[in-house]
Structure 1
Amino acid sequence: MAFLVSVFKPLAYISLPVILLRSIAASSPIGRFYVRQTVYVGTLITAAAWGIIVAAGMSVVGRRYDVNYIIARTFYAMAEHFFDLHVEVEGEENLDGRPGILMVNHQTMLDIVVVGRVMPKQTSIMSKKSLQYSPLGPFMLMSGAIFIDRGNNSSAVRSLVAAGELMRKQRISLWMFPEGTRTSTEVPSMLPLKKGGFHLAIQAGLPIIPIVAENYWNLYHKGVFNSGVIKVRVLPPISTAGLTAADIPALTTQVRDQMLEALREISVVPPQGRAQESVSAKEKPQDTSRAQTSSIAPKIEDVSDSATAVLDAGTSSASLVSAYSLTGSENGVETDEDEGMILVGRPAA
């Protein structure tokens, strides 16, 4: 009997937090939201801890560019199991066999689930230099992170040029959220796109591959955290061959229009949001004309600012813990981490 008590007593104590969380989750929808959000962040922390071990091992055997892919897939498997969240990808073949600039719409911290499912193999991170000296620094170094000095414009521009050369030589792709910050509304929508990624695409001569995750307001917004399926569409590559900086405004408009059209096609719009969507659609030509009348000759300061925004805060499943805290807004409040989350990745052979 004493032996059984010694075995089951610790298990009983360990199970108490689980029982408590389940009770809170069952008490009310808002309780369920905060419990699931807390467990979600805990899952991120667990993936981050596993990432340190993987990074150490993979760097020793010369495969550090596989670290972020492994951690991303690990987190996605955990999200599927604990939250019953699944990502269905259409057009994934557009990611095969070529490097490119992968541009993705940015909604909430559930985007990490999309990253976990879609991120290509052999990935690295581009991050602000200050993170090199953070607790995440060793992990990021071991996983091949590239650090950018966001406080030095000339240094940021040089880093942008160097990144383009690296992408061409090593066939490395770039994963980025070109809106620069999160936005989540009932009606499918997108913010204007920052231009840093477009400068890099043209300078490196690489295609832009838009990736669109459906509007999942029905699954996640303040007070709601449901299970379900997130549909993702990978659009055909958009060539940048022969383009110059003067073409960036038109290219930016083209990419955003294609992404917004796909977003509306794959998203489920609640009845109360359809009237607002109709109004937004009517305003679209006006927005397009404003974009087309913008300057077509960006100054070097504009390039520097864009580079600083785009290359500001790279994240992996480890650094995503800091990028998406419980205090972060689900509705577009910009943070340092939001300003252009970047992931550099080599497509699978």
Structure 2
Amino acid sequence: MGKLLSKLASASSVSFLLLTLASARSQKARFYLNSLLYMLSMGVCSSLGVVYAICLSLVPGKRFNTNYLVARSFYAIAGTLIGYNITVEGAEHLQNRPSIMLGNHQSVLDILYLGRVFPPGSIIMAKKELKLSPLLGQFMMLGGNAFIDRKSRASAIKTMSMTGQHMRKNKLALFMFPEGTRSHMATPGLLPLKKGAFHLAIQTQLPIIPIVCENYHRMFDSKTRFDGGELRVAVLPPIETKGLTDNDVDQLLETVERQMKDRLVRFDQDLDRRDSDLAAHPSNQPSPTKVYGLAGLAARLIGTGKARSHVRNLQNISNDQRTPLGQNQPSDYGLVSASQAPEH
């Protein structure tokens, strides 16, 4: 058995090395390499989360920092290996607690931007099925996170009410994805927001803090492309709910949705201006693709190949952005649907 394990370890190491070298010149190899690194980082940080939660539980009032430590660890590990640098504007708004943070939800990569912005004293509302996930479920329970049964309206209403009391008592910030499903959009936009988060905000009279990550389809499309690079996140000023009633839910939702969409569009306009500046000063030779993280290290050793492949990749991205959206897949961090939202 020992010899077999040794051979498997050797074969795995050689395969990983070959994949890393191939990632310098192949987008497909880079997709598989970075997907592997991302999943490994999640596994490592889930294990760390259990350790963090147990240790912090021994210190009164500190266990609610578990998510913060796990988030920062994930950003440090995955962000370095894949090559992401995330800049945040408006980070001072994250100090408002208790509050309800609402972020746009594009794909599984959103966990990375949460790793960059998640503040101390914060919890997540997740579907109850995550409790059964090895390590992930354990550290989330130990960290005081809220779990919701999206199949039971009565249970969802009760969870919402208990979560509000829990937040006020411990001065916590709660993070939710109001779209409820990963959008996988190739262009800036949001899926229709669900009402659960807005009912909760009004019931608790807590401010809403919108968090917007720019559209990153050019870097990650969940199927063929997974590249590192620069990402921007904006934390918008808090939207107060004091004095609002259930009759104001729709107006509150529209206000948050409009602000988030406007910021997504502004991010995209910034990219358009940058592209226009580059087009105004063309080069005689196409620029080679920039490779980041572990793949970037391999690229410095063996190069990135012909620049024409980079031009072809850009054309593929352009074609994606003209393709209608496919079917959305349920998110691991979905919210209660509008039909399940509390009625008053």
In structure 2, the partner of 1:109 is: 108
d(CA) in 2 for partners of 1:332 and 1:47? 30
2:334 aligned with 1:339:
yes
d(CA) in 2 for partners of 1:101 and 1:199? 11
Q: CA contact under 8 A between 1:188 and 1:269: conserved in structure 2?
A: no
d(CA) in 1 for partners of 2:32 and 2:8? 27
Q: Kindly tell me the number of residue pairs found equivalent between the two proteins.
A: 277
Note the 1:147-226 alignment, pairs <5 A. 147-221=147-221, 222-226=223-227
Tell me the CA shift for residue 10 of structure 1: 11
In structure 2, the partner of 1:61 is: 59
d(CA) in 2 for partners of 1:174 and 1:231? 21
Q: Which amino acid aligns with 1:92?
A: A
Tell me the CA shift for residue 22 of structure 1: 1.5
Residue 162 and residue 57 in structure 1: after superposition, are their counterparts in 2 closer, same or farther (change >3 A)?
Answer: same
In structure 2, the partner of 1:234 is: 235
Q: CA contact under 8 A between 1:99 and 1:172: conserved in structure 2?
A: yes
Q: Which amino acid aligns with 2:184?
A: S
Residue 15 and residue 191 in structure 1: after superposition, are their counterparts in 2 closer, same or farther (change >3 A)?
Answer: same
Residue 51 and residue 226 in structure 1: after superposition, are their counterparts in 2 closer, same or farther (change >3 A)?
Answer: same
Q: Which amino acid aligns with 2:332?
A: E
Q: Residue deviations 1:55-76, cap 9 Å, x none?
A: 2222233422111111110010
In structure 2, the partner of 1:304 is: none
d(CA) in 2 for partners of 1:80 and 1:253? 33
In structure 2, the partner of 1:38 is: 36
d(CA) in 2 for partners of 1:193 and 1:99? 22
Segment of structure 1 superposing worse, 139-148 or 332-341? 332-341
With the length of structure 1 as denominator, give the TM-score of the two structures.
0.72
2:268 aligned with 1:255:
no
Tell me the CA shift for residue 192 of structure 1: 0.9
Q: Which amino acid aligns with 1:121?
A: P
d(CA) in 2 for partners of 1:205 and 1:132? 29
User: Which ranges in structure 1 are unaligned for 5 or more consecutive residues?
Assistant: 1-8, 275-329, 342-349
Q: 2:49 aligns with which of 45, 51, 63?
A: 51
Residue 29 and residue 131 in structure 1: after superposition, are their counterparts in 2 closer, same or farther (change >3 A)?
Answer: closer
For the residue of structure 1 that corresponds to 2:211, the secondary structure is strand
Q: CA contact under 8 A between 2:121 and 2:173: conserved in structure 1?
A: no
With the length of structure 2 as denominator, give the TM-score of the two structures.
0.73
Q: Residue deviations 1:111-151, cap 9 Å, x none?
A: 11100000110233434444445534432332223333444
For the residue of structure 1 that corresponds to 2:194, the secondary structure is coil
Tell me the CA shift for residue 153 of structure 1: 2.2
Q: Residue deviations 1:25-81, cap 9 Å, x none?
A: 246211221221122111111111222222222223342211111111001001231
Aligned-residue identity in percent: 41
Q: CA contact under 8 A between 1:126 and 1:146: conserved in structure 2?
A: yes
d(CA) in 1 for partners of 2:131 and 2:93? 33
Tell me the CA shift for residue 106 of structure 1: 0.7
For the residue of structure 2 that corresponds to 1:239, the secondary structure is coil
Q: CA contact under 8 A between 2:99 and 2:174: conserved in structure 1?
A: yes
In structure 2, the partner of 1:310 is: none
In structure 2, the partner of 1:3 is: none
Q: Residue deviations 1:218-246, cap 9 Å, x none?
A: 21113111121110111111111211111
In structure 2, the partner of 1:21 is: 19
Residue 98 and residue 125 in structure 1: after superposition, are their counterparts in 2 closer, same or farther (change >3 A)?
Answer: closer
Q: Which amino acid aligns with 1:194?
A: K
Residue 202 and residue 44 in structure 1: after superposition, are their counterparts in 2 closer, same or farther (change >3 A)?
Answer: same
Q: Residue deviations 1:246-272, cap 9 Å, x none?
A: 11112111111111001110135679x
Tell me the CA shift for residue 168 of structure 1: 2.3
Q: CA contact under 8 A between 1:103 and 1:211: conserved in structure 2?
A: yes
d(CA) in 2 for partners of 1:42 and 1:106? 22
Q: Which amino acid aligns with 2:243?
A: G
Q: Which amino acid aligns with 1:337?
A: D
Residue 115 and residue 11 in structure 1: after superposition, are their counterparts in 2 closer, same or farther (change >3 A)?
Answer: same
